[in-house]
Amino acid sequence: MKIGFTGTRRGMTDAQRNSLRKFLQTAAGEFHHGDCIGADEQAHDIAEAAGFEIHIHPPLNPTKRAFKITHVSRMRPELPYLARNRNIVFATDELVATPAEPEEQLRSGTWSTVRFARTRNRPITIIYPDASFNHC
């Protein structure tokens, strides 16, 4: 399975990290993320520990980049944020999102990626800050 990930630069809550760990224990394959500080770097470590092959889609702008590299990483081309997020959706079978807020936001890269995944009919699992989730 190819799982795409999107999350906030503020990082995940403890509850979101624990839910992501449980979610990834039920799957195997590739894990794609955008290499930003916060949730992407946290998810990278969780997915690596779960045995996933990591695919990194770095942003063109390095100021918020986490620079995660491991022996199981595959680096994709640097792209502007919006194009990078769309490529994560295109490259994967399912999207996992860990937004900072429980309701959809208009000016949010995480929610923008969720909306784009909907247009591509990708299964989406949203893990909210309190660890409740929605699978659509």
Tell me, yes or no, if the pTM score tops 0.85: yes
pLDDT tens digits for range 23-32: 999 888 999 9
Measuring CA to CA, which residue among 90, 38, 39, 35 is closest to residue 58?
35
Q: If you write DSSP's letter for every residue of 20-58 in order, what string do you get?
A: HHHHHHT--SEEEE--BTTHHHHHHHHHHHTTPEEEE--
Measuring CA to CA, which residue among 15, 108, 34 is closest to residue 76?
34
Q: Mind listing the domains of the chain with CATH numbers?
A: 2-135 (3.40.50.450)
**The predicted structure's pLDDT at residue 71:** 67
Flag whether pLDDT at 72 surpasses 70.
no
Angle at 127 between CA 55 and CA 64, to 5 degrees: 50
